[in-house]
Structure 1
Amino acid sequence: MTTTTTEELPATTLLRFATAGSVDDGKSTLVGRLLHDSKSVLADQLEAVERASADRGQHTPDLALLTDGLRAEREQGITIDVAYRYFATPHRRFILADTPGHVQYTRNMVTGASTAELTVILVDARNGIVEQTRRHAAIATLLRVPHVVLAVNKMDLVDYREPVFAAIAEEFTAYATELGVPEVTAIPISALVGDNVVEPSATMDWYGGPTVLEHLETVPVSHDLAHCHARLPVQYVIRPQTAELPDYRGYAGQIAAGTFHVGDDVTILPAGRTSRISGIDLLGRPVQAAWTTQSVTILLADDIDISRGDLIVPSKDAPATTQDVEATVCHVADQPLAVGHRVLLKHGTRTVKAIVKDIPSRLTLDDLSLHPHPGRLVANDIGRVKIRTAEPLPLDSYADSRRTGSFILIDPSDGTTLTAGMVGESFASPAPVKDEDENDGWDF
């Protein structure tokens, strides 16, 4: 009898991807079809979907119910919250975020796509490119999602006509090119029937490209955060003060980017104090190195003042600290964001007071033109902002690190998330800022 060790098992990569598109384009049905046809649905789950579908008078299982779990979603037939699903094939593991299509819930699409390495944007073949399609493409571009798939769905309702698919693919690719998307993979599908989702379509022999699952299994995945400048936002200071560890002082958190090694010279920001890593604890054991997404405790050679919200970085590539933040944002709250508003800015584990000093431009999605100095941003707007913070922040460019180059703005009165921001990202050069005097304790 032979046994197989874990070292002998084939290594699989992980792909995080999100679905996006307008209302009723079939995102949840596509996800359900992916799970069903890839044999990733348990028997009791499928039986529950069959019963729920029969109760609604449907003769075949509604696969969208595999992801639409909230009662309100089932009653209204729409996706409201981001539904995360985990599945695997022999070639790759997947974390999927099924995001809402309704304009009202665009904020949830931002959440789902913020960590994605690929976005599947669905389009109803009968309707073509609509405003929400353009909005989702723009958000995916701003979030620097590396790969974009255009899935032209419901091809069965347009008699599988190639010219319909070709026209939509051409229009979307031209728009994506203007946004700066390097490459778009267009696939004609019918999520309801299953054409080109997991199995190739027998009715679209004019299409010779991959199915959706084939593309998901083979698209290059680059976990480049491990090669970024190392960053550890301090979440907690550990002082057990026990007889076994009387002098232990560790700084715990999840590594946001890069790799740390014992012996590295580090700087603690924003104060700028320096030290050297004397030890790294991972899952209660000492290690010589740790890298992005691992939760660790770092020990330093010097006893210096560090608290939650500080950032530990290698001294050789420490980012500059600043109180003037320029960024492109997606406004996600119902209440507008206006020049002069007092907000809280959360970056990593640090939250500081801030003022919106200027909104130089708002992006018009139809033609990608910029509306100068709109004065405010409303829900789902994408715009350029300039913010002044009460304390200096160590900010990376979003182009260098999606984790430490991003932030959110929060309403200080009730804790509502207002805006998701990407440092340094811009569709065009911002206009000059003219500072206004503020005299109410929030003037920085």
Structure 2
Amino acid sequence: MSLQMTRLSRDRAVTQWCSMPYRGKAKQFWKMSKEEWTLYQRHRFLEIYQDACTTIPYYRMRQQMYPELKLQEEPLENLLLELPILKKHTLQKHNLHFFPAKSAMGTARWSASDAVGSSLMVQATLQERGMEQAIFDWWKKQVTGTTRPRTIYLLGCMKQEGQTWLSHSHGANGVHLSIYHLHKRYKDEIVRFINDFDPQYIEGYPSAIYELAKLAGDSLFYRKNRTVAMAAAETLAPEWKAVIEQSLCSKVYDVHSSQEGAYGVFECSHGHKHIHPMFGIVEVVREDGTPTEQGEWGRLVVTGLLRKSMPLIRYEIGNRAAKGTAHGSCPCGVSWDWLESIEGRIGDQLQLEDGRRISMLVVNHMIDGMQGIEIHGAQLIQHTLRRFELLIAMKERDQGSRKYVQQSFRRRFTALVEPLCEVELELTFVTEIPREANGTMKLADVRL
């Protein structure tokens, strides 16, 4: 099996290189006291806020909503409560107004999709991507003993890009394994490769790591204590966690962040989901915007501290969470605050005729990279093992592009799941995606 170089591999190598100047700072946060990281957050927030109010059109044009903040010794949480909550639909509506008029050289801009299938343009400079990578590298150091462990990345975009089930991650000490090839046809090859590669770290969607663990069965049990896993982008179900830790790795860690780069929540060895203070500020609020109490569920509102190129101030990210106890009470030793619970993307696993179960995030993989189309939401409904229906909510001005959208989504979906099995995809254009009884929206709804 040849190892092919991909664009994603090159991007990862560049980001690793850009992280070098920030690794020292990222390391310091693991030993900071509450007072030290609180002071850092205050200074960094005021720096980003003042820059946003002068260089970012959205904030500059709304001086009444974003006034000059007085620099008295008022707690940062009180300063934040004076500012409005930025809704996701507002960010989408004014998307380009969240970028400076002139971006720095090396700034990357890309189309991403969120937990309800809405499309969004995001951007980051090389330095900002480097800072984010440094944070993740030092978390890896805590759980594996090295900032560059031998890694298997379980990805959903490879087959769409015409790659084989495996490709080399140049310069990043890892490989990319397609989640759409976790099939019994490839079991022996995949198990043999994992034995030879001997990964220290596996990164991917919880559902994909779970499917890999099921596929391997007890074939990798004897070596599982040499590997840990990071589950991200979906809610890690307890039953998935049990299967993964039984056959694939010694522990699977639950990690939450976003394409917008506004926050990072990292599980420690004691099971607490710590809020990384270098990444951003996290609030949990009720429907009326007031802060919740410990253990009380609420809306997750984040303020990014990494990206001046796309500053998000009190942004409602779309997740729900519950606060944990105050800082300093975790046996792992860090002084960071933590969340008792956090809810990631919600949706069913799709079932294919050949026996595969694939992540609901196939919806995101179809949307990501779609240029010139503003999608407000999407939901994939499975009616039979072969027949699927994609609900799409688009901006009114883009309605004339329906034929292009239909062709693009059909091509992308079949490219992801075929040729291992045949599927049919029909598209239905709607004004909005239906919500569940509890108010949430599912990316995928299996109705078999």
Under TM normalisation by the shorter chain, which class is it? under 0.3
Larger Rg belongs to: 1
Indicate the structure with greater strand content.
1
Could you state the TM-score of these two structures normalised by the residue count of structure 1? 0.24
Indicate the structure with greater helix content.
2
Of structures 1 and 2, the one with the larger relative CO (CA 8 A, separation 6+) is 2
